[in-house]
Amino acid sequence: MSEPESIKFSIELFLREKFKNVLNKIAAFLIKLGLKPNIITISGLIGNIIAAILIGWGQLFWGGLLAMLVGPFDALDGAMARLKNESSKYGSFIDSVTDRYDELVLLAGLLIHFIRIENWLGCLFVYLAAAGSVMVSYVRAKAEALGYSAKVGVLTRVERYLILIPGIIIGQPLISLAIIAVLGNFTAVQRFYYVRKQALKNIIH
């Protein structure tokens, strides 16, 4: 089945292609040090957990900065696996699971921050942003398990990251969360209807 809607400009693909050579050089250096891709993946998760703790304590700048620094780890582990010819379904599984935790622990840190300062609107936006994040991933995973494609939408994981982290660093996480809450859930709905269109097309044919 042709999928013209899925062949769109992707910020994630653009960044990976733009910084491919840099990533490969860093990945090659880490391999020489004897590090494995899964170590980098777990290190990124640990870094985000520490960042979330800092955010929960109200240290938004330092927490956001740390989250920004460990963000590229997600691309580095994949580059290392490719250079070592160790790419596997299990490695991809680990990467996907830790990606979800990376995002959710940061949102948990923001939730604690908003509870501490009694900002209940902030708590609501954290919930809506988390719901959108989970549903975007779930709709795609469920669709692909059933043989459909769902690689569409205005706000995928990388875009959410690029919106969330700057907002945390400049001390305006509420604005970032509001954007993610709206566009994240909109993306989940986009993917739902994209799968529905494929299902109806299969019925007609």
Task: Give 32-48 pLDDT, tens digit per residue.
Answer: 888 888 888 899 999 99
Q: Which fold has domain 4-204?
A: Four Helix Bundle (Hemerythrin (Met), subunit A) (1.20.120)
The pLDDT value given to residue 19: 67
The pLDDT value given to residue 11: 67
Distance separating alpha carbons of residues 69 and 44, to the nearest angstrom: 9
Q: Which residues contact 120 (CB under 8 A, 6 or more apart)?
A: 114
pLDDT tens-digit profile of 82-132?
887 776 777 778 888 898 999 999 999 999 999 999 999 999 999 999 999
Specify the higher pLDDT residue, 4 or 121. Answer: 121
Number of neighbouring beta carbons within 10 Å of residue 17: 10
Distance separating alpha carbons of residues 32 and 132, to the nearest angstrom: 39
**pLDDT confidence band for 13 (50 / 70 / 90):** low
The pLDDT value given to residue 7: 38
* Residue 16 reports pLDDT greater than 80: no
Domain ranges of the chain: 4-204
Distance separating alpha carbons of residues 75 and 95, to the nearest angstrom: 10
- pTM for the model: 0.85
